[in-house]
Chain A
């Protein structure tokens, strides 16, 4: 064994979606960073569906962008179809989604990594985590080279003991050969880290040449595609359509007839699959009253004929999959290129981690991505970014960055992961976020970019652009709140002309916008000719002939202003809830607090608390198995402790009001 000649600040193992963000974040913070991957050709690979974003996932991508991550920029550059979801609903639950050109995405990511200052890339296989006195100090490669680093981030994805099941066939699926993956797994267990088992599945992929798209519904992209990244103003590339088709009773009969040949139903699979992403076998069995299930037919790129059949993930034998696909409208002659399969893999329950994603057992070792029991590129990327930032901060000896549940979906994600027991692969949903109305895609930059700049993952140029936008929003909000129009005949005439309701009293533009069914655009269309009819409240300046001086605002500024004014009442109510939430988050539990010494806690609660080691009363209330009564007891003990040590003046809220847990 010999040591590599460089000593790194941050060493990232794996270059999937978590690894890429982790490595880029650390390098951008100025840390000497190394990313090690099994194959440089699979950097940023999308092994499952060819899409980025979706409900709540789009939120994560925007937050990653707002904190200086790369995912949004990558999909803006390589997307082949962009769609906003939930456009008929309110702004908080609108999400962006895009089909990706898989290969182009990978190539883009690889280039960004290659060109990043302070970042080295090394193809190689890690076999062992090196530790010294309980601290991680680097890794050992298969070629017996030791790479030393102050911090190590492991993003091993599903590489630990992956097993693929198709019908009655199962095989090991460590891409680089199982012996090596086994060694890393062993190193893992030697350090006292625990693993558990999950499963997920993929659908078959077919050749587009053999698909009859004329028999399917078109699903075109948006006419005005919107970028993910706050630093992009528009999407310029052409879009290609997706299609929709359906299963039918014949399909369901084929599946039912062969159920016992499915790996899932024959009992071969022991891992737990996700309820929100059931296999087609599951759908047919559990919802037998349904005559059809939707299938999204999604191209995998511009330069490939491969088509992803989103909605029929299966672990049926190959011959049954062929029959099943052939029974579906438009797929009668489809040639399967890759068969669907179920995969079982080890994950490391993230309750072993602090909210910084550092392991509790081994200092300086961080875990991120699918390894922590999540599913999805976005969930992985978000964790990678946060692990990268926290490793960087640790190297720089600065305070760690923990986003709370009221700040970001990333906060919700990590808080859930480190607090709760994962029984199925964890996917983000908007309903996981209690403070959803404030955690919108549109304001992700307003929520997080200052933080990103503080930790230096956001470049000065991006930060300047952000400040300019923020200033425009504030100025426009002020203008709308301070401009009043009077109910003069001319004004009323104007209002009628552009379809706005009449007014009886002098009304500010903000008040007008608050009314239902009125848009910012309509207000902007208002042209008051008679200057005396309107005035600006605070400065008493005459208003320009045309009230709109918002000319030149980017669309996102207008949108932000509209949302903030229109939903002010709801947002205020949400803010009250956030205030209550923050009160309990602010009651800190000291690091050395001995939960086992607290008498009166239920034994189960005591054990869970000792394991999770929550940082605050709010956090403790979300630990599963901890009841409101346990929290009351904990508060009493903390109060006594505060009293006896008298070192802290933290006000402890009355125990009667226990925070609304979310475990």
Chain B
């Protein structure tokens, strides 16, 4: 346990209905005794754990009442940090909260560092590493779906799944090990077919989990979408419509957007970073030139491209150049300015694209008008559909880079083990990589010991002379 007591405002900054000051550590109760008066005159330190008690916060120096408040009290080890913890539920308002916090500081607490409550919960063994990391994700998460994924991890769904995989791998290893250490027990007929089937199943489950890592990252870090198009096709207006705010300067002079503009949009709970690129065109203007180069860089980072074409103009060489980018990334096509007389129809565009695309997938074309504000919702839906094909809110997602790395290591190792089985290698070579698989999983949920493997062998086989 830490020797010092920490304090912080636990509610988000701003003028809320209520505000909470949380204090955790060995002197949390004494601090409450100093500054909180219950209606019943009982000292807070004498209160039952997990109770809310009405009372007043006052400054003992001058007896002045700071606020009327509820005191929540949790005794060690039954609190989030496993330490004695009190929470002052005050009326919102920065001034009050500041004053209460100053009082807690005065009576022995220090200001908590960011994430320190969670750090203590982890260091005191209250939550495991996977859970601690989920909390960190939770704090950082920008959108609802991301919060849900982090929350799932927090309640241990990820741990549960990996524990399950760990069990399967440990049993498999025990089977293999038994044939090595007990050759005289007539177990030395390792059924490689069944064994490799089991290993394949483990590999599949790892693949499934790893697949979600992409989605998990998406949820946390968001999706990057680059808006491409020759100058003045309405990229900036499109961005503004998607965001429904005036962010980019919109004029009808080509090349107005000289730099890339990035905005974050909440698309059904997924953060989407929209990047409006400077028009890609040959230019001598050195400043605009920088913008063009930046656009190319954006292109390589993007998860999805939105390629905008002006419906009121015939397709020209600049359009051609841009349309060729279609093969680089998944792309959506926007035929803009459909309110004007049509020079390029979606059939024209489609015909043109059939010559260009190599993927063989029919391109998605959305018709929009920024003037009439049509097609925007359609575009949003298709953007989302393009990236996500499943309902993410119910699945277990890998949102953490360390977990992903550990699972990848396990996946590589089990692939090696399967190779060894197929090559009919001797059992100890198979065991080498099954152990590495277990180590990878163990990095997330704790390690399987040699004794555990031996225990499994003795439980399953009659061994010994």
Contacts and interface: CB of A to CB of B under 8 A. Distances in A.
A277 B464 contact: yes
A627 B446 contact: yes
A311 B464 CA distance: 7
Nearest to A656: B402
A92 B186 contact: no
Interface string A649-660: 000000011101
Interface residues of B, number: 49
| Secondary structure class of chain B's binding surface, majority of residues | helix
B447 A599 contact: no
A278 interface: yes
B315 interface: no
Contact of A88 (B188, B442, B462): B188
Interface stretch (B95-103, B239-247, B302-310, B432-440): B432-440
B423 A431 contact: no
A275 interface: yes
A276 interface: yes
Contacts of B120: 600
Interface string A561-594: 0000001001001100100000000000000000
A90 B431 CA distance: 12
Given A276-B458, A311-B465, A629 B183 contact: no
A431 B454 contact: yes
B124 A283 contact: no
B208 interface: no
A90 B428 contact: yes
A276 B426 CA distance: 23
Nearest to B1: A599
A657 B440 CA distance: 10
A658 B443 contact: yes
Nearest to B439: A660
Contact of B186 (A294, A567, A599, A658): A294
Contact of B458 (A275, A434, A661): A275
A93 B443 contact: no
A437 B449 contact: no
Contact of B432 (A277, A573, A602): A573
B463 interface: yes
User: Most A CB atoms within 10 A — which of B2, B433, B450?
Assistant: B450
B324 interface: no
Interface string B24-50: 000000000000000000000000000
A633 B132 CA distance: 14
Contact of B125 (A56, A294, A437, A629): A629
Contacts of B449: 661-663
A290 interface: yes
B463 A276 contact: yes
Interface stretch (B61-69, B174-182, B263-271): B174-182
Contacts of A276: 454, 458, 463-464
Given A92-B428, A296-B465, A430-B428, A662 B1 contact: no
A662 to B, nearest CB: 5
Interface string A291-313: 00110100000000000001100
Interface in B171-221: 177, 180-186, 188
Contacts of A429: 181, 454
B453 A431 contact: yes
B427 interface: yes
Contacts of A633: 123
A437 B428 contact: yes
A516 B129 contact: no
B416 interface: yes
Contacts of B446: 627-628
B462 A89 contact: no
Contacts of B429: 90, 437, 567, 570
Contact of A431 (B125, B181, B465): B181
B410 to A, nearest CB: 12
Interface in B1-18: 1-3
Contact of A600 (B1, B442, B447): B1
B88 interface: no
Interface string B100-117: 000000000000000000
Given A283-B462, A628-B129, A93 B428 contact: yes
Contacts of A436: 428, 431-432
Nearest to B462: A287
Contact of B442 (A290, A636, A660): A660
Contacts of B465: 49, 277, 294, 296, 310-311
B128 interface: yes
A599 B425 CA distance: 48
A448 to B, nearest CB: 21
A431 B447 contact: no
Nearest to A622: B449
Nearest to B427: A89
B451 interface: yes
B425 A90 contact: yes
B435 A434 contact: yes
Nearest to A577: B436
A294 B453 CA distance: 24
A294 B454 contact: no
B405 to A, nearest CB: 9
A420 interface: yes
Contacts of A274: 464
Nearest to A432: B450
B169 to A, nearest CB: 13
B333 interface: no
Contacts of A599: 1-3
Interface string A74-101: 0000000000011011101100000000
Contact of A430 (B180, B416, B442, B455): B180
B186 to A, nearest CB: 7
A568 B429 CA distance: 12
A362 interface: no
Nearest to A310: B465
Contacts of A602: 125
A276 B128 CA distance: 34
A573 B416 contact: yes
A278 B462 CA distance: 9
A418 to B, nearest CB: 15
A86 B462 contact: no
B458 A629 contact: no
A286 interface: yes
Contacts of A287: 462
B451 A663 contact: yes
A55 interface: yes
Contacts of A434: 435, 450
Given A93-B427, A573-B416, A656-B129, A628 B447 contact: yes
Nearest to B188: A88
Nearest to A420: B451
B183 A86 contact: yes
A420 B462 CA distance: 25
A85 B181 CA distance: 10
A170 B444 CA distance: 51
A476 B143 CA distance: 64
Contacts of A286: 462
Given A274-B464, A627-B125, 13 more contacts: A55-B183, A89-B183, A90-B429, A276-B454, A294-B184, A296-B465, A431-B454, A437-B429, A570-B432, A573-B432, A600-B2, A628-B447, A660-B442
Interchain residue pairs A-B with the least CB separation, the first 4: A90-B426, A600-B123, A287-B462, A89-B426
14 contacts: A55-B181, A88-B188, A89-B180, A275-B463, A283-B464, A296-B465, A310-B465, A436-B432, A627-B125, A630-B125, A656-B129, A656-B402, A658-B443, A662-B449
Interface of B: 1-3, 120, 122-125, 128-129, 177, 180-186, 188, 402, 416, 423, 425-429, 431-433, 435-436, 439, 442-443, 446-447, 449-451, 453-455, 457-458, 462-465
